[in-house]
Amino acid sequence: MTAEDVRRLIYGQIVSKAVQTFVLLGLPNLMRDAEHPLEQLTRSVGANPTSLRRLLRALAAFRIVQETAHDTFALEPLGHQLRSDTPRTAHPTALLAANLVGQAWDGMAHAVRTGKPAFEEITGTPFFSYLSDNPPLRSIFDASQAAGLHAELPGILTALGPTPPRVAVDVGGGDGALLEHILTHHPGTRGVLLDRPESREPATARMKRAGLADRFTFHAGDFLTDDVPTGDLVLLRHIVHDLGDNDAATVLRACAHALPPGGRLALIEMATPETDAHQDELARDTAVMDLYMMCLFAGGRERSTQEMTELLHSSGLDVANRTPLPGGAVLTLGRPHKTEELVTEWFRTYLMRDHPELGRPGPVCPFVEPAHRAGTIAIEHAEHIDGENPTELRRLILETVAKFHDRTWDHGNKALHSLVLVLPQLSRAGCQQLDQTQADLKPELATRGLMMGQFHKHCAETAARNHTFPVSQSPVPLIAIRNMALHDILFLHHDARCFHAYAERFGNRFAKGGVADPLFVQHYERAAARFRPDQTSGQDETA
């Protein structure tokens, strides 16, 4: 490559501005049908004739238009792609580039220096929050998404196969363009769109125009904080590349949780090449899109297929198939791990490892690894309970406690016995009810020498040594029943009944000075003083 070639790259911004100006003036639509004299175009768009001639002749060099006779111009095939009524039109993309999106690209140096998106530096607000407050720009963005869909749609429908889903859930689907095509293609399918409230009106209008309103539900929410509605097909089209790894994993976990056994996630994203094929057109396209993401979104980026596989797997999903789509995108079909595999993976990658926010060295739960090694973690499932009926949930937990007592354990160390009940269909409201039921049952179970912990992705329980760290969050809701242990003073010192049950078992050890951890001693002594010392001594069951 010569210096002249590099200069052409630098001057590419001028070409982009010329195309944007061509669209802003409305010329692609105006010139759609015939050849047009310069004088007529000048009057129609209110331009300076000399400057307009120079613009059009410059665009002719790039085959956007052609000068068919002196000062007479017509669209070339590339120019027709800028008309607003052309399938797969680039018209809204040009309008986005001519707006604040282009200004964000101009701020790339800020993004590179700081690691923060230039869009937020310019506007003071994240991209999608800005769109929420600017309906005209939101409409342009939705139109750009819908135009890109035309190229991908045949491949998407082929990859999803002929079997119709019962319920298709489009996460972050904007005005519902993709979901409209899914519902049209599968007449028996119902559709749910999860997006911000401002998408309700355009999505509902689209479905009414298509005659699909009776099979469509709009679900207002934020996919980073709210549950994803349940469906046997969940669609994520060009959403994950807007997000950093942590937020992407949050969304993918929510999608995995929304899928019943046998359900599928259709993830549509660009895929960066795994090789150093710098001259490859796909490599250039994904490189450009990656810089686009960097300028607009905190943490947003394009990922390789290997990176996407790792992200899916850590979120509870296995890759079932991949289908390349036109334009460089790839449709990845994901299926949920078997629930038990998901739980054991969480044991291995979280509970059995150190965590910097825990407030102490050692694994998050020191008992899981020896219990796992001894084979004393029993896992059971309650597949069809949403947890929202408190009576049903309480009965289920007490039945699990009875199973724990009645179970024949192969290992004699009671401290390692654990019965885990997985509740994969627990709703967010069910998770809240689980928190309340655990608190209600805690004293009763403590008097029986038992502990019950609840874990789910919304759990607010914090680490004993760091009250800002939510330690009990898991990819799938579950409860764990085990015998009371010495360290449980950390969880039992607030309530008199719980503390008395603890002191009956471990009071002698404290009385003899046999507890080394100063935090255990501090909690015990304060609780003993608070809850009548004459009732706090007892026989240590481990003595």
Long-range contacts of 66-69 (CB under 8 A, 24+ apart): 68/35, 69/35
Q: What CA dihedral angle connects 80, 81, 82 and 88, to 10 degrees? A: 140
Give first-to-last CA distance, the chain, whole Å: 80
What gap in Å lies between CA 134 and CA 139, rounded to an integer? 9
Rounded CA-CA distance 24/84 in Å is 12
User: What is the rounded distance in angstroms from the CA atom of residue 32 to the CA atom of residue 75?
Assistant: 7
> Would you call 349 exposed, middle or buried from its count of C-beta atoms within 10 A (0-12, 13-18, 19+)?
exposed
Beta bridge partners of 217: 192
Q: In angstroms, rounded to a whole number, what is the distance separating the alpha carbons of residues 50 and 44?
A: 15
Structure tokens at 25: 């003036």
Per DSSP bridges, beta strands 216-220 and 190-195 are parallel
Beta strands in 255-295 (DSSP E): 264-272
36, 186, 241, 523: the active-site residue: 241
Go through 431-467 and write b for each residue having 16 or more CB atoms within 10 A of its CB, e for each that does not.
bbbbbebbeebbbebbeeebbbbbbbbbbebebbeee
Chain center to CA of 148: 22
Decide: residue 188, CB within 10 A, 0-12 exposed, 13-18 middle, 19+ buried.
exposed
The total of other beta-carbon atoms located within 10 Å of residue 48's CB is 10
> Of the candidates 333, 288, 316, which has an alpha carbon nearest to the alpha carbon of residue 97?
288
User: Is residue 70 annotated as part of the catalytic site, yes or no?
Assistant: no
> Using CA atoms, how far apart are residues 400 and 271, in angstroms rounded to an integer?
45
Report the relative pairing of strands 317-324 and 329-336 from DSSP bridges: antiparallel
Alpha-helical (H) ranges within 161-262 are 177-185, 200-209, 245-258
Residues with catalytic roles: 241
